[in-house]
Structure 1
């Protein structure tokens, strides 16, 4: 009788609380890594940093972030999500706090390198959580919800951050962001559990398992490096990695050079920058949620994963390429509208992590996510340096904006031509 009563109970919704956790973690992650973009105009004056050197400093985070992706994914597969995420958040928040004490370019550069190492397991862990806790037909919207954290923090906090910058200086930004992260590390450790160890009832776990969720994935496993090598040679990995590199190039522009673009190229003052900087990030947040909702809806309606997963990404990258039209517009309000459309489209294209969940070989979610994020964050290395070099050489952002548009088009071609079928890779 007890078993019948348990079977008849409706499924709990513990997975949505878990989703709120990783969405919050992602918000803090991006706030900590990108707050340098807001501080940059004031910081560069205080430390006498040239545009070319600032491009290198912007990219420094991604040097170690990209290099640590595969080791970070292996650590995740070996030690599990709960411990890995807590350590990652704790260390990156501590390094963010230390930014407030820097007095030299060398110190700033070193902290950016350390921040990249500390943040490296975050997105592979997010992907693992979604694959573990969600059935396939809920993964795109779940990915969209946590990915929106990349944008929503800067979208709604930008006016406050610029106000803090104006009244208390750029160091205050790092103090507040670092403290928030340290508090969240404690919350994560107290609240996160794997499905079998959580308060999810049998009905919810059955719903996840029946929908393809990887509830039974071992929490700890050693990495088969020969299998990782074979994974690197698959067409699907090359397709999603090149495509995500392209999408990340647009994102990196907005997270690093965008406030400087508004201040230098568009001659806006601090209050205008604080107001106008909100709009593209809000648009990107809507784009992420719309892309995830549309993808899952198409899957539920019977469309193949090839259509449901790839179409929003391809259309998003094609629309993101329209950013080049900003070069031919004088009215700042229209320019912000164009940039908002491009960032909305980049948000739609940010569903690559859903594809990681769909194609990763069994037991290799951490390594697959690490390889994917390594390729994606090469954009974080290359794009800021190229933009900084272009601005230093020409005194203008015109060719830099053109570069972003061309790369977005190449990303769409990668998903169309290289990726092939969306299916789990068998090694």
Structure 2
């Protein structure tokens, strides 16, 4: 496909990623536009997860006002994942066709409107329906994130860049969880949804103005050269037609299956914290609202440390000459194995010990969340969004299963003990998948006939 004359030809051969000065001239330093784009992705992810989890912060108040029992609240928690999971595959295709700017911008605006609408929910049915809508509209977010990072970052920086945007799923909750609980208790749970929706809507409008793919951005030619030579897909303009045969081809690869299973396992822990954790603190541990706001932050801080540490170490191993496959797989295996520690919460006799155990478990989940970097390494360059959609679909099946199973356990037993055992067993399955099934990571190439 020919490129517009006004755009730099990033695919043209280059002698070096560094500008070579001509006599009497100074070398032109590469711009760092990619870091601004990463900041935009991080903020968007913070808002994305704020609108996913705000319902868990208001659940103790909402259940009383709307007379919803724990089993039905578990169904409401899972409603988001029903539409989100099943919309991920078409959303991934949409991202590959429209690009990250348009698909993410539309997603931001529409899910923010659905979030604000939850403030007028009057019972189980209306709240369940609105959570379905939020899940549907958020589906393009992570495929768009994965595509943007693959476009903007070379291989040796991609692990940390992925960690930064994935950090957003913990950062928003760590920063705002206590505040949301306080707002719900002081001004009513409806206010939480109105404020969350307004923030997302404003940023969604800003996204259209600020985000660009590399070739359409203000990055100079030196930065574009640096991206291309480092393995970024900055110049990839290919747009594939949707083919079920491509899906079948991807699913013939053990890499895809192993990542799907592993992401389901780590997401089981994630969705517990996103949904039932505040209820555990308030109802099971009998912690006051003030302490609950403080304690609820600690596991998210642990997860932030885990994701940044894992991404940094993974990139460092690559820079020191270790194989990419080993460098990306190590945090997946370690994080999944450490995630089994959540079962120790069952023997915690003090609030402090329980929070320490759960912080370690969520730290482990943060480590294993670097699986997004692994997706970026194995996905065919024509199908980054679709591959991200497939693996994210598996991850978000945990969003259907975990909240519902935990809600059922609570209704039948009145305790979180069996719930922690369930999550620990799933973590074991993820460990086995990453360590035994995954094999060597490498980019999947589409057959020539499918290009």
| Superposed displacement of residue 7, structure 1 | 8.7
Note the alpha carbon deviations across 1:202-246, whole angstroms, 9 max, x for none. Answer: 111111101110012227442233112211221110000000000
Q: 2:141 aligns with which of 122, 126, 132?
A: 122
Task: Name whichever of 160-169 and 92-101 sits farther off.
Answer: 160-169
Output the aligned Cα RMSD: 1.5
CA distance in 2 between counterparts of 1:2 and 1:132 reads 25
TM-score using structure 2 length: 0.93
| Superposed displacement of residue 104, structure 1 | 1.6
2:39 corresponds to 1:16: no
Within-5 A mapping of 1:307-322: 307-322=326-341
Note the alpha carbon deviations across 1:31-62, whole angstroms, 9 max, x for none. Answer: 00111110111101111111111111111110
Tell me the residue number matched to 1:253.
272
2:309 corresponds to 1:281: no
Whether the aligned pair in 2 keeps the contact of 1:7 and 1:202 (CA below 8 Å) is: no
2:180 corresponds to 1:161: yes
Tell me the residue number matched to 2:251.
232
| Superposed displacement of residue 334, structure 1 | 1.0
CA distance in 2 between counterparts of 1:343 and 1:30 reads 16
Tell me the residue number matched to 2:82.
63
Distance 1:9 1:399, change over 3 A: same
Whether the aligned pair in 2 keeps the contact of 1:316 and 1:346 (CA below 8 Å) is: yes
Distance 1:6 1:188, change over 3 A: farther
**Could you list the runs of 5+ residues in structure 1 that have no partner in the other structure?**
none
Q: 1:93 aligns with which of 112, 115, 119?
A: 112
| Superposed displacement of residue 307, structure 1 | 1.5
Note the alpha carbon deviations across 1:293-315, whole angstroms, 9 max, x for none. Answer: 01101111111122110111111
How many residues align structurally?
427
CA distance in 2 between counterparts of 1:67 and 1:210 reads 36
2:340 corresponds to 1:326: no
CA distance in 2 between counterparts of 1:275 and 1:69 reads 34
Note the alpha carbon deviations across 1:107-148, whole angstroms, 9 max, x for none. Answer: 000001111110001000000001000000111100110111
CA distance in 2 between counterparts of 1:118 and 1:218 reads 25
Tell me the residue number matched to 1:361.
380
Distance 1:7 1:227, change over 3 A: farther
Distance 1:6 1:356, change over 3 A: farther
Whether the aligned pair in 2 keeps the contact of 1:79 and 1:221 (CA below 8 Å) is: no
Note the alpha carbon deviations across 1:83-124, whole angstroms, 9 max, x for none. Answer: 100000000000000011111211000001111110001000
Tell me the residue number matched to 1:52.
71
Tell me the residue number matched to 2:6.
none
CA distance in 1 between counterparts of 2:100 and 2:326 reads 31
**Secondary structure, aligned partner of 1:80:** helix
CA distance in 2 between counterparts of 1:134 and 1:128 reads 10
Tell me the residue number matched to 2:16.
none
CA distance in 2 between counterparts of 1:219 and 1:194 reads 13
CA distance in 2 between counterparts of 1:12 and 1:258 reads 43
CA distance in 2 between counterparts of 1:62 and 1:346 reads 19
Tell me the residue number matched to 1:344.
363
| Superposed displacement of residue 3, structure 1 | 8.9
CA distance in 2 between counterparts of 1:160 and 1:304 reads 44
| Superposed displacement of residue 67, structure 1 | 0.5
CA distance in 2 between counterparts of 1:16 and 1:10 reads 15
Task: Name whichever of 219-228 and 332-341 sits farther off.
Answer: 219-228
CA distance in 1 between counterparts of 2:441 and 2:242 reads 24
2:233 corresponds to 1:214: yes
**Could you list the runs of 5+ residues in structure 2 that have no partner in the other structure?**
1-18, 447-451
Whether the aligned pair in 2 keeps the contact of 1:77 and 1:222 (CA below 8 Å) is: no
**Secondary structure, aligned partner of 1:9:** coil
Task: Name whichever of 53-62 and 220-229 sits farther off.
Answer: 220-229
Whether the aligned pair in 2 keeps the contact of 1:286 and 1:344 (CA below 8 Å) is: yes
Whether the aligned pair in 2 keeps the contact of 1:81 and 1:219 (CA below 8 Å) is: no
| Superposed displacement of residue 70, structure 1 | 0.5
Whether the aligned pair in 2 keeps the contact of 1:80 and 1:220 (CA below 8 Å) is: no
**Secondary structure, aligned partner of 1:383:** helix
**Secondary structure, aligned partner of 2:203:** helix
2:285 corresponds to 1:266: yes
| Superposed displacement of residue 268, structure 1 | 0.8
CA distance in 2 between counterparts of 1:366 and 1:312 reads 23
Tell me the residue number matched to 1:33.
52
Note the alpha carbon deviations across 1:143-166, whole angstroms, 9 max, x for none. Answer: 110111101111021222122112
Task: Name whichever of 13-22 and 281-290 sits farther off.
Answer: 281-290
Q: Spell out structure 1 runs of 4+ moving beyond 6 A.
A: none
Within-5 A mapping of 1:121-200: 121-200=140-219
Tell me the residue number matched to 2:102.
83
